[in-house]
Chains A and B, each alone.
Chain A
Amino acid sequence: MTLLNVNNIEVIYNDVILVLKGMSLSVEEGQIVSLLGANGAGKTTTLKAISGLLNTEEGEVTDGVIEFEGEPIHHLDPEEIVRRGIFQVMEGRRVFEDLNVEENLVAAGHLQKSRKKIKERQELVFSYFPRIKERRNVLAGYLSGGEQQMLVIGRALMAQPKLMLLDEPSLGLSPLLVGEIFHIIKQINEEQRTTILLVEQNARLALTISDYGYIMENGRIVLDDTVERLRDNEDVKRFYLGLTEVGTKRSYRDVKHYKRRKRWLT
């Protein structure tokens, strides 16, 4: 069943800056779907359009529809959208620095009915991230980057969402830790039946845990397919997996250079 359907939306910031132009994607229930693309492509904007947070920063969906479980949600408040089961984990590990770990989790469970339920969810979070359990009374601002990333994913678990939107969970973390966190994301997807829309720069890793992938450029989707087929696609290999035909690694600089010459839609 299609859980989320973004259909041909247009997003404008400050009434003038057109950022998304005919952006469409859909997410099937139970899947992990990756949304890949270069800096500034509009990935974060897409997530904010879905979660309604766009309204908090002068952005607006001016055309198209976003449907969740078959109902249009693009005109709803972020609060109402969370209530319906969509939870966005924002880019850049936005923990509440002067609240401790537990308080961060309690805040994230704001819409849960009872304290008992909050306790239950908290135990679940700690079972996925034992490391932050040890630090439950520490101010979130003092956690390491990796622990903070675990905390923000943990916060999403508190709300028990049907759809989790993850914005670059690998940002600024060591490769080892990224591997660990991606493994847990996959586990959450399988064990909690949480559908996940994952935005990533680390395309290689994202594609290993996803079922389906979208590639975005300049505010629209330029390519989408199952991950198996995406991994075999020559362009994807070159531009997003950093591989040339012979399989050698290319530097990011080269990729950038290439990108300027070859656009997806030409």
Chain B
Amino acid sequence: MSSELLHFLQLVVTGLVIGSVYALVALGFVLIYKATSVINFAQGEFVLVGAYICLDVIVRFQIPFVWAFCLTLGFSVLLGLLVERLMLRPLIGEPIITVIMVTIGLATVLKSIVTLFWGTQIRVFPQIFPQEPLEFHGIVVSEVYLWTFGFALLFMAVFALFFKYSRAGIAMRATAADQQVAQSMGISVKRIFAISWCIAAVVSGVGGILIGNINGINITLADFGLKVFPAVILGGLDSIIGAIIGGLTVGILENLMGGYLDMYFGGGVKEVAPFFVLVVILMIKPYGLFGTVEIERV
């Protein structure tokens, strides 16, 4: 294999792994948007909080990662419930802009709490997954990347199955499609909203743990949430499949653009790339690749 091609594939593979985590977090974002029409600007802060909680319980209580992971999931469920109950539910029926401002406020509050408890310097997870580099036909991937990718895929698969087959999942899609009709069937819209926020907090928490394992964490992890915007806008705000494909695409694109263009701009391309892509998408396909297309009956 030529070294050019190898370099390209190397960039694609690492981009894909990070993209899978974007996809996971984007799934949570889209879920909230679909079910409740709320744009959650605190999605990145859920990522942040999840990562810190997990790290903290590992270090503080010296418990195995698996337990810390489960505890974090439990905590995320609680966080989702609390946020929905205390901040969003009282706002049902309020103008959408009010609700958006509240999620921005929530983001600030969560970030402050994290700073308060854990400060701002970078913290690293104790090594959980081996960092050994593995080699496939010349492409080098450290094992932690494979675990990350595996976990992200696993969680997405679980939620995909949940939405497709479980009664609660079907009720959630029904509510997203037509809230009033869902209510006419005895589906509790409040409960659906609560579940949506829980799932969004859970996938974000998992995303935070996965990324934290690779990069270490500090307060800027919250910016991860911003990268989710290009992903969901690429996929179309209200499409779960779109969010997943969007996440993967953004991961790959930013890595490629960083890999090839950084030398001309002196670094930082990776950080900007997703937003550059975002602007381009908005110009050519304002509803995203998978955004709602009304069904035309034939």
Contacts and interface: CB of A to CB of B under 8 A. Distances in A.
Contacts of A78: 183-184, 186
Interface of A is mostly: helix
Interface stretch (A25-33, A96-104, A194-202): A96-104
Nearest to B180: A56
Contacts of B298: 142
Q: Which of B174, B177, B185, B295 has the most CB atoms of chain A within a 10 A radius of its CB?
A: B185
B35 to A, nearest CB: 13
Interface in A11-58: 51, 53, 56-57
Contacts of B181: 90, 94, 96
Given A98-B177, A99-B177, A142-B297, A106 B184 contact: no
Contacts, number: 76
Given A98-B177, A110-B167, A159 B297 contact: no
A88 interface: yes
B9 interface: no
Contacts of A82: 184-186
Interface residues of B, number: 20
Given A53-B183, A99-B174, 5 more contacts: A82-B186, A88-B184, A107-B187, A111-B185, A139-B295
Interface of B: 167, 170-171, 173-174, 177-188, 295, 297-298
A155 B187 CA distance: 13
A266 interface: no
A118 B167 CA distance: 10
A120 to B, nearest CB: 15
B297 A144 contact: yes
A125 interface: no
Interface string A231-243: 0000000000000
Contacts of A249: none
A228 to B, nearest CB: 33
Nearest to A158: B185
B126 to A, nearest CB: 43
Nearest to B186: A82
B170 A99 contact: yes
A111 B178 contact: no
B252 to A, nearest CB: 28
Contacts of B173: 96, 98-99, 103, 107
A141 B182 CA distance: 16
Nearest to B292: A98
A83 B184 contact: no
Interface string A133-162: 000000101111000000000010001000
A98 B177 CA distance: 7
A79 interface: yes
A99 B186 CA distance: 18
Interface in A83-141: 83, 87-88, 90, 94, 96-99, 103-104, 106-108, 110-111, 115, 118, 139, 141
